[in-house]
């Protein structure tokens, strides 16, 4: 392979001083940007053109591209630049982008990492992924079609994620004869929409990704356009890292660096600001302060480190600091709270479960979080207009909504406008570990600042000691008619004979009072169990042995209650009765109503029951009398003290 196949451009500097050239190349700034927009607007073709014109294609790649263009291309015998980016077989077969494709190229002035984002609505989640780290977005519009729904959706998401630099690239100008009037009409239409959602400015330009108009060189076909070419604009726009460097110092701790007894440091990526030896810093959420003594890297100590650099900080004092903490400027620290208003982009095929506990990952912090019913969903087709807010009970795939969220402990944060690193988060399903949503923090709720935990003198341990027993929550779960209430009642009777202090929470009884406002939708069932879990926890704190008899059909909610209690205090008892046996009993006539369609969302008929995977006690209840089942449970629980 020839030298010119590897090096994109030769110039006098390379010939005269290769070391100087490499040093200059190493210190170029990096711009991360995305291409987005609707289907077939030419995103992949544009990136292919950028790679081709910047000489970032090797000779063998060019040969393969020419062969593929003839075989599966969409441009006849001409080169199909989109094939440089669309590498998946499904993408080539359908002529669409499915996954985010990242490509690197550079010019004399700057390096670039570009993410080609899919235009199809069903792959919006991939677009959000690509946009999350971008400094700039190139929003493409097919000049023949104008502003479309997905153009609006992607523009709104870019604005939501905080991308300030937007390029409106009106593509395929060659297919409309470089018509200036049509171009001006599209730009005016987009400008009206942009103003409605709060986009203050954007740079518009007429281009042709296929023909190369206004990509790297000014096109003679658009003499009426006097703005920069796309590459000229990309080379001069301000990058995010330079903006972040001007903000107060923040560094989420990724790990404690302790290679030997003589060294202890705290490693992480600086999110914003700068730090140097001698700076006073504060560790959050504890609030402990110290002084930075060293800024350590693999290449040696630094006099100063700035946003975007990964470093290890050493302190003058031995203060507690661990993964998930945030090191910040002592005189200007971020906040900590546990209740927020957030904007969510739902990324999962399964709709959001209101009240269900998810993992929230913000920077290096990982906490449990519950999401309340959305205040509203955003209608991107009328964003900023009278119909921009839609009343919804949940969020479906690709929906954007605003909701209140509550974490199980305070997290260190800043609003997303102040910091992407401390204001942006993802939600993770606790069972599947799938990322289900991306979100941004709008603000903390005032009630989170007004409500504080009140310490009491009589502790949890004191309550248990007075009752001479170890608190437990015996969680009976199974189908309706499985025998949960009957067996739980028998267990409580036997515990009473043993002078144990107990309380039985029964599903039907609780719905007469505490949960009388809840129905039987999936969201209501989740809230039903959350409330019962909180009550059971309070009773366990009082030193009681709590028995609960609830269908509790979903594993996630049973696991949520388990996490509320100390290790070993939650005992899951699976009352395993076959559906046919439970239905044959049908003491309350519920199965009959469910089969006839009179009763909706009935577990085992038209609503699922998720069996426990590894319960502490598994009862084959169809083969046991209630007294036998109770004796078996008591034996497994002994000693109860």
- Whether residue 83 is found in the same domain as residue 205: yes
CA distances from 327 to 303, 320, 594 (A): 18, 11, 56
Domain containing 269 — which CATH number? 2.40.30.10
Residues 467 and 436 in one domain: no
- Whether 453 is covered by a domain: the verdict is no
Task: Classify residue 40 as left (phi > 0), alpha (psi -120 to 50) or beta.
Answer: left
Give the model's pLDDT for residue 569: 94
The answer to whether the CB of 505 falls within 8 A of the CB of 532 is yes
Rg over CA atoms, the chain: 30
Give the residue ranges of the annotated binding site for ATP. Answer: 478-485
The answer on 546 and 529 residing in a single domain is: yes
The residue written with tokens 């990324």 in the block is 347
170 lies in some domain:
yes
pLDDT of residue 505 exceeding 70, the answer is: yes
Average pLDDT of span 178-186 = 95
User: What is the phi/psi pair of residue 466, to 5°?
Assistant: -65, -30
Please say if the pLDDT value at position 68 is more than 60: no
Structure tokens at 474: 């015996």
pLDDT range class, residue 94, cuts 50, 70, 90: very low
CB-based contact 257:297 (threshold 8 Å): no
Q: What percent of the chain has pLDDT over 90?
A: 46
Helix (H, G, I), strand (E, B) or coil at 545: strand
If asked whether residues 227 and 261 sit together in one domain, one would say no
pLDDT bin (cut points 50, 70, 90) of residue 83 is low
pLDDT of residue 269: 93
- Does 454 map to a domain? no
Query: What is the residue-averaged pLDDT of the chain?
Result: 84
Could you tell me the pLDDT band of residue 93, with boundaries at 50, 70 and 90?
A: very low
Q: At what angle do helices 484-497 and 626-637 cross, to 10 degrees?
A: 60
Reported as a single tens digit per residue, the pLDDT across 456-492 is 889 999 999 999 999 999 999 999 888 999 999 999 9
User: What pLDDT is stored for residue 108 in this prediction?
Assistant: 81
Q: What pLDDT score was predicted for residue 526?
A: 87
User: Both tokens of residue 255?
Assistant: 């790990």
| Helix/strand/coil for 176 | helix
Main-chain dihedrals φ then ψ at residue 187, nearest 5 degrees:
-65, -40
Per-residue pLDDT tens digits for 287-325 = 899 999 999 998 899 999 998 899 999 999 999 999 999
The residue to which tokens 């992607």 are assigned = 154
**pLDDT tens readout for residues 565-623:** 999 999 999 999 999 888 888 878 888 888 888 888 888 888 889 999 999 999 998 88
Token pair for residue 409?
A: 């402990």
The pLDDT value recorded for residue 365 is 93
- Please, which pLDDT band fits residue 542 given cuts at 50, 70 and 90? very high
Q: What is the pLDDT of residue 448?
A: 56
Q: 269 and 391 in one domain?
A: no
Using the 3D structure, point to which of 193, 212, 239 is the last residue of a domain. Answer: 239
544 & 615 share domain: yes
What residues form the annotated binding site for GTP?
37-44, 116-120, 171-174
First to last CA, the chain: 78
Q: Are 575 and 616 in contact (CB under 8 A)?
A: no
Distant-in-sequence, close-in-space partners of 303: CB < 8 Å, separation ≥ 6: 276, 277, 295
Burial 125-137 (b: 16+ CB within 10 A, else e): bbbbbbbbebbbb
Pairing label, strands 274-275, 326-329: unpaired
Distance CA 269, CA 117 (A): 26
Percent of the chain residues topping a pLDDT of 70? 84
Residues 226 and 313 reside in one and the same domain: no
d(CA 271, CA 43): 30
Eight-class DSSP state of 622: G
| Kind of pairing between the strands at 335-346 and 30-37 | unpaired
Rounded to the nearest angstrom, the gap between the alpha carbon of residue 435 and the centroid of all alpha carbons in its chain is: 6
**477 and 497 fall within a common domain:** yes
Binding-site annotation: residue ranges: 37-44, 116-120, 171-174, 478-485
| Domain closes at, from 218, 239, 260 | 239
What residues have CB less than 8 Å from 206, skipping those under 6 apart?
143, 170, 173, 178, 183, 213, 214, 219, 222, 225
Catalytic residue at 552?
A: yes
Catalytic residue among 552, 596, 607, 614: 552
CA angle 447, 448, 451 (to 5 degrees): 75
Q: Please calculate the CA angle 36-42-45 and round it to the nearest 5 degrees.
A: 110
- Whether residue 62 sits in one domain with residue 84: yes
CB-based burial of residue 628 (10 Å sphere; 0-12 exposed, 13-18 middle, 19+ buried)?
middle
Which token pair is 143? Answer: 């000049």
State whether 258 and 392 are in the same domain: no
Nearest to 96 by CA among 127, 70, 65, 67: 127
Of the CA atoms within 13 Å of residue 333, those in its CB half-sphere come to 19
- Mark whether 211 and 315 lie in a shared domain: no
Name which residue leads in pLDDT, 382 or 223: 223
In this structure, the answer to whether residues 256 and 231 fall within a common structural domain is no
Predicted confidence band of residue 6 (pLDDT cuts 50, 70, 90):
very low
Range of the domain at 585: 460-637
pLDDT at 91: 37
pLDDT in the model for residue 88: 37
Residue 533 and residue 530: Cα distance in Å, rounded? Answer: 5
| 145 CB-contact burial (10 Å; exposed 0-12 / middle 13-18 / buried 19+) | middle
User: Number of C-alpha atoms within 13 angstroms, CB side, residue 209?
Assistant: 26
Assess if residue 109 is contained within a domain: yes
CA 293 centroid distance within chain:
35
Cis peptide before 475 (omega within 30 of 0): no
Domain count, the chain: 4
The residue from 397, 413, 448 where one domain ends is 448
Domain at 173, CATH number = 3.40.50.300
Say which residues have a Cβ less than 8 Å from residue 48's Cβ, sequence separation at least 6.
Answer: 80, 81, 82, 83, 84, 85, 209
Neighbouring CB atoms inside 10 A of 13's CB total 14
User: How much of the chain is in helix, strand and coil states, percent to nearest 5?
Assistant: 30, 30, 40
């Amino acid at each position: 392979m020839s030298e010119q196949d590897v090096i994109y451009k030769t110039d006098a500097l390379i010939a005269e001083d290769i070391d100087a050239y490499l040093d200059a190349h190493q210190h170029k700034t990096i711009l991360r940007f995305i291409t987005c927009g609707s289907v077939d607007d030419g995103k992949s073709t544009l990136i292919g053109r950028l790679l081709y014109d910047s000489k970032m294609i090797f000779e063998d790649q060019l040969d393969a591209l020419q062969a593929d263009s003839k075989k599966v291309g969409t441009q006849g015998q001409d080169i199909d630049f989109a094939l440089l980016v669309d590498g998946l077989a499904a993408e080539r077969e359908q002529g669409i982008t499915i996954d985010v494709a990242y490509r690197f190229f550079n010019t004399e002035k700057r390096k670039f990492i570009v993410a080609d984002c899919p235009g199809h609505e069903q792959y919006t989640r991939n677009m959000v992924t690509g946009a999350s780290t971008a400094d700039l977005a190139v929003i493409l519009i097919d000049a023949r079609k104008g502003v479309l729904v997905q153009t609006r959706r992607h523009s709104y998401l870019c604005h939501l994620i905080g991308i300030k630099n937007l390029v409106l690239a009106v593509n395929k100008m060659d297919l409309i004869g470089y018509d200036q009037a049509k171009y001006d009409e599209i730009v005016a239409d987009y400008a009206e929409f942009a103003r409605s959602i709060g986009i203050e400015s954007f740079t518009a330009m007429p281009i042709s990704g296929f023909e190369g108009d206004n990509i790297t060189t000014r096109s003679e076909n658009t003499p009426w356009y006097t703005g920069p070419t796309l590459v000229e604009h990309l080379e001069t726009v301000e990058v995010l890292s330079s903006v972040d460097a001007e903000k107060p110092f923040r560094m989420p701790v990724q790990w404690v660096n302790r290679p030997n007894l003589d060294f202890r440091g705290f490693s992480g990526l600086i999110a914003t600001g700068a730090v140097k030896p001698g700076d006073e810093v504060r560790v959050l959420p504890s609030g402990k302060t110290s002084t930075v003594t060293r800024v350590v890297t693999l290449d040696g100590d630094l006099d100063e480190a700035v946003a975007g650099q990964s470093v290890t900080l050493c302190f003058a004092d031995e203060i507690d600091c661990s993964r998930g903490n945030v090191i910040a400027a002592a005189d200007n620290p971020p906040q900590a709270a546990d209740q927020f208003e957030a904007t969510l982009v739902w990324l999962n095929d399964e709709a959001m479960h209101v009240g269900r506990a998810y993992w929230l990952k913000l920077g290096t912090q990982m906490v449990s979080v519950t999401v309340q019913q959305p205040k509203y969903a955003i209608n991107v087709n009328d964003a900023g207009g009278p119909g921009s807010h839609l009343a919804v009970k949940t969020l479906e795939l690709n929906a954007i909504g605003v909701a209140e969220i509550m974490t199980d402990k305070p997290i260190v944060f800043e609003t997303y406008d102040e910091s992407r690193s401390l204001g942006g988060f993802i939600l993770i399903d606790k069972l599947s570990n799938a990322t289900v949503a991306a979100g941004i923090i709008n603000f903390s709720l005032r009630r989170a600042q007004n409500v504080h935990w009140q310490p009491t003198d009589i502790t949890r341990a004191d309550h248990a000691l007075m009752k001479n027993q170890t608190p437990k929550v015996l969680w009976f779960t199974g189908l309706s008619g499985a025998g949960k209430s009957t067996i739980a009642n028998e267990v409580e009777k036997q515990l009473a004979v043993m002078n144990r202090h107990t309380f039985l929470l029964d599903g039907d009884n609780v719905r007469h009072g505490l949960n009388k406002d809840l129905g039987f939708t999936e969201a209501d069932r989740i809230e039903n169990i959350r409330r019962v879990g909180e009550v059971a926890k309070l009773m366990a704190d009082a030193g009681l042995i709590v028995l609960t008899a609830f269908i509790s059909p979903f594993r996630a909610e049973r696991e949520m209650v388990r996490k509320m209690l100390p290790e070993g205090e939650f005992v899951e008892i699976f009352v395993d009765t076959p559906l046919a046996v439970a239905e044959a009993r049908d003491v309350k006539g519920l199965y009959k109503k469910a089969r006839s369609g009179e009763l909706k969302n009935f577990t085992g008929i038209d609503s699922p029951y998720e069996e426990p995977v590894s319960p502490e006690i598994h009862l084959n209840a169809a083969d046991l009398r209630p007294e036998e089942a109770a004796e078996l449970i008591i034996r497994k629980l002994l000693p109860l003290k």
